[in-house]
């Protein structure tokens, strides 16, 4: 496919009328008030999805944790463009959608720096044992102790997309020596020069065994599902810390618990889980040296407005027949690094 053909494939036809935009949300998001002037917004709960989808031009998956879309997808008709208010698109990668010519876009650009800041906070908190300090404060125990350094330690960030790259830059700013791992090895990356491949994680001289910190920010695909299992944890340096801000199914949680219990891992932090919300009886809540947060690493006080802005920008492009931003490669299951925005010569400016 030529460059011009590729750009046309990510461009919708010009939309002369106000499109019918189906918004999957329990209540109308007030952040979309500005969009209402440009489109016919129809806000629906999951139970109405199957009935409303055939007449929709666009589907905005505002409640991105939904599992209802595969069963509700129409055999005929339906939207020509699906946008999700999330970075991950694994819940949209079902056959009827991936095998169609429907465009899928995500909300890349909203989450990268907030997640990077969250990871940096976790790294400092684990190295400085803030949890131990707080526990001693609660119990009024004055106990001097030493903690670890961050600068000079080594991190491996798994996930070569924008989130992984933002994490890498932020950790390097803290003085860590950090490497990025993507799906395949690249030695000519425009930003980093070298990006390692997944296979380099687990080789005999692999990156896992050299890292003090392993940060998982990868998308969930068939290749990455359960990639952090007992074998992966066994290759890590004893006392290393593991952090996951990618997707819960990337980690075999029983194996993580075992690695924490036997001291292979010196600590861990999880923001995503196989089953969410995390069951109150899960052993993860009380595991030693484990920080648990409820899938909130990207969520800041302005994130909903930011999500609405990304969609509004793409809707304006859709109506004008211009290429959309953040078009997902449905075969890969994510937005390729070079495809987040249209090429400058297509846009005229950027």
| Catalytic residue set | 247, 276, 295
Q: Which two tokens stand for residue 102?
A: 């429907």
Q: Is 273 helix (H, G, I), strand (E, B) or coil?
A: coil
Closest to 70 (Cα-Cα) out of 47, 93, 102, 99: 93
DSSP line for 107-155: -TTSSHHHHHHHHHHHHHHHHTTHHHHHHHHHTT----------TT-EE
The angle subtended at Cα 211 by Cα 210 and Cα 215, nearest 5°, is 150
The residues facing 181 across adjacent strands are: 158, 196
State the CB neighbour count (10 A cutoff) for residue 195. 23
Whether residue 41 has a cis bond before it, omega within 30° of 0:
no
Termini Cα distance of the chain: 24
Residues 6 or more apart whose CB falls under 8 angstroms from that of 42 comprise 20, 21, 22, 23, 52, 56
């Amino acid at each position: 496919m030529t460059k011009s053909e590729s750009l046309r494939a990510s461009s919708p036809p010009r939309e002369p009328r106000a499109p019918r935009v189906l918004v999957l949300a329990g209540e109308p998001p007030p952040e979309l008030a500005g969009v209402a002037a440009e489109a016919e917004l129809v806000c629906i709960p999951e139970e109405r999805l199957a009935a409303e989808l055939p007449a929709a031009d666009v589907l905005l998956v505002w409640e991105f944790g939904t599992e209802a879309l595969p069963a509700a997808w129409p055999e005929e008709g339906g939207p020509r463009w699906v946008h999700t208010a999330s970075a991950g698109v694994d819940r949209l990668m079902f056959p009827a959608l991936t095998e169609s010519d429907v465009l899928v876009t995500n909300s890349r650009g909203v989450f990268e720096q907030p997640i990077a800041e969250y990871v940096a906070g976790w790294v400092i908190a684990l190295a400085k044992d803030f949890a131990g300090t707080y526990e001693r404060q609660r119990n009024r125990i004055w106990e001097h102790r030493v903690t670890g350094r961050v600068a000079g330690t080594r991190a491996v960030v798994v996930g070569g997309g924008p989130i992984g790259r933002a994490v890498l830059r932020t950790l390097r700013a803290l003085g860590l020596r950090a490497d990025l791992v993507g799906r395949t090895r690249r030695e000519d990356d425009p930003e980093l020069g070298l990006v390692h491949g997944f296979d380099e994680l687990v080789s005999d001289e692999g990156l896992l065994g050299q890292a003090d910190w392993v940060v998982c920010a990868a998308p969930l695909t068939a290749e990455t599902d359960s990639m952090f299992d007992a074998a992966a944890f066994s290759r890590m340096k004893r006392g290393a810390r593991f952090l996951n801000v990618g997707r819960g199914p990337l980690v075999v949680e029983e194996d993580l618990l075992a690695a924490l219990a036997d001291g292979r891992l010196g600590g861990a932090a999880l923001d995503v889980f196989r089953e969410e919300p995390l069951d109150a009886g899960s052993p993860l809540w009380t595991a030693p040296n484990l920080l648990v947060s409820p899938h909130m690493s990207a969520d800041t006080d302005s994130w909903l407005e930011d999500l609405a802005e990304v969609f509004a920008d793409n809707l304006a492009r859709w109506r004008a027949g211009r290429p959309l931003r953040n078009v997902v490669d449905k075969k890969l299951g994510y937005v390729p690094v070079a495809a987040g925005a249209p090429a400058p010569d297509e846009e005229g400016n950027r």
